[in-house]
Amino acid sequence: MILQSISDFVKEAGRIEEKKLLKHFHLSSEGLDPMMSVLLKRGKIQKTINQRGNRLPPEIYYSWAETAQIPTLTVI
């Protein structure tokens, strides 16, 4: 149920920051990570990590892919 809700939310947004997902679904990152792993393995969602140097925490984004793809993790 919640996996479908998260998937629909990411699909509607196209690309969304992890912070917004956490806030919208009232989850901690420890609660979101296992669910996103399942969605990433399905190939419809991709994960991008934006490394912003040593002093700033990385920004994590999830994006929707219309066609199923090989699960990918992009680090910038």
Express each pLDDT in 11-54 by its tens digit: 999 999 999 999 999 999 999 999 999 999 888 899 999 988 88
pTM: 0.83
Cα–Cα dist 23/68, whole Å: 27
Which of 50, 47, 42, 30 lies closest to 67 in space, CA to CA?
A: 42
The answer to whether the CB of 35 falls within 8 A of the CB of 65 is no
What distances in angstroms separate CA 19 from CA 58, 61, 68, 69, one per listed residue? 11, 9, 25, 24
Fold exhibited by the domain 2-75: Arc Repressor Mutant, subunit A (1.10.10)
Q: State the sign of the Cα–Cα–Cα–Cα dihedral 66, 30, 59, 18.
A: positive
